[in-house]
Structure 1
Amino acid sequence: MSTNNVRYYEEQQCSNQWRAFLAAFAAEFASKGEPKDLRVFMYQLGRTMGSGFNVADGSSLQALEACMNRVWSEMNWGWVELVEEADALVVAHHASPLKVAFGEEALNWSPALLEGMYAQWFETLGMDKSLRLSQRDGVFEDGQLFVFDLKKQLEEQTYFTRR
């Protein structure tokens, strides 16, 4: 785990008053469906949650990152880095409270909440419809870093257009 994440958690943690509730919620929620279905629900929850925040300065990546980080700072939910790569915009969310809040077992579905929030924010800013945000596979920094790629969605050819 990076020094920045350790320092962040020493200063800010998931509120103790919510831990028992969130642990019970995660256990019950996980028992209600497959991870794929739980991700869909969390993604939609993230979109709804994201629409409640003003992330409106898309004039530059630095301005957008600063807008997003104001939201995360107010919520004590870590911070984001936006990194432009050749084929994608990388959204790296550091020091997320999801593992602390929902438990390690929820790491296969809980990050979809962040994915939905970021997708909502990009869509509100007028994101090109051919772009799609998706989480990279793997657990990074012991579940404290979630990485998403915003890139052109490759459409799979249908049966009739394949040769």
Structure 2
Amino acid sequence: MAAFSTEFASKGEVKDLRMFMHQLGRTMAAGFQVNDGSSLQSLEDCMNRVWSSLNWGWAQLIEEADCLIVVHHASPLKVAFGSAALEWSPALLEGIYAQWFDGLGMDKSLRLQQRGGVQEDGQLFIYELKKQAEEPSYFTRR
């Protein structure tokens, strides 16, 4: 995987690598059953069954006033892709979580994205699901 990571990183800008990894995560997510959104605890349990089966750490869901926080503990990304990939590899988890929320019928005005950078030496990543501010159209800007 280190050779893949080095070669992959040489092929594009961080933004493009993140977009690719996000899409890869969405594709991966389709292969996993995360379909119980009846409560946050049920959803967290479903997610953690997947992570446990892969030995990819665990998720914690935290409800805040304006967003839902997804904390991914014991991430395998640094071990799999190396330290240099921590700029773009977290988009893989972001894509997986985003697809799971979409599959549960998430409101289209919500968006999941990584919050902050690398934490706990690449072992912890935080994502937030929140409503995105609407951009004013060309005609409403003055």
TM-score range normalised by the length of the shorter chain = over 0.9
Q: 1:49 is matched by which residue type in structure 2?
A: M
Which one of 49, 52, 71 corresponds to residue 70 of structure 1? 49
Match among 62, 68, 77 for residue 89 of structure 1: 68
Q: Cα deviation per residue 1:100-143 (whole Å; 9 max; x = unaligned)?
A: 11011001100000000000000000000000000012221111
Q: Which has the higher helix share?
A: 1
The answer to whether residue 121 in structure 2 is matched with residue 142 in structure 1 is yes
Q: Which has the higher strand share?
A: 2
User: 1:44 deviation in Å?
Assistant: 0.4
Quick one: distance in 2 between partners of 1:39 and 1:80? Answer: 21
Of the candidates 16, 24, 28, which is equivalent to residue 45 of structure 1?
24
Structure 2: unaligned runs, 5 residues or longer: none
| Residue 122 of structure 1 pairs with residue 109 of structure 2 | no
Q: Deviations 1:25-82 (Å, cap 9, x if unpaired)? A: 0000000000100001000000000010000000000000000000000000000000
Larger Rg belongs to: 1
Is the counterpart of residue 54 in structure 1 residue 37 in structure 2?
A: no
Structure 1 stretches lacking a partner, 5+ long = 1-21
**Structure 2 CA distance, aligned partners of 1:53 and 1:27?**
28
Structure 2-normalised TM-score?
Answer: 0.98
Determine which of 102, 111, 114 is the counterpart of 1:132: 111
- The Cα of 1:155 is off from its aligned counterpart by 1.5
TM-score (norm 1): 0.85
Q: Which residue of 1 aligns with 2:133?
A: 154
SS at match of 2:41: helix
Q: Percent identity?
A: 75
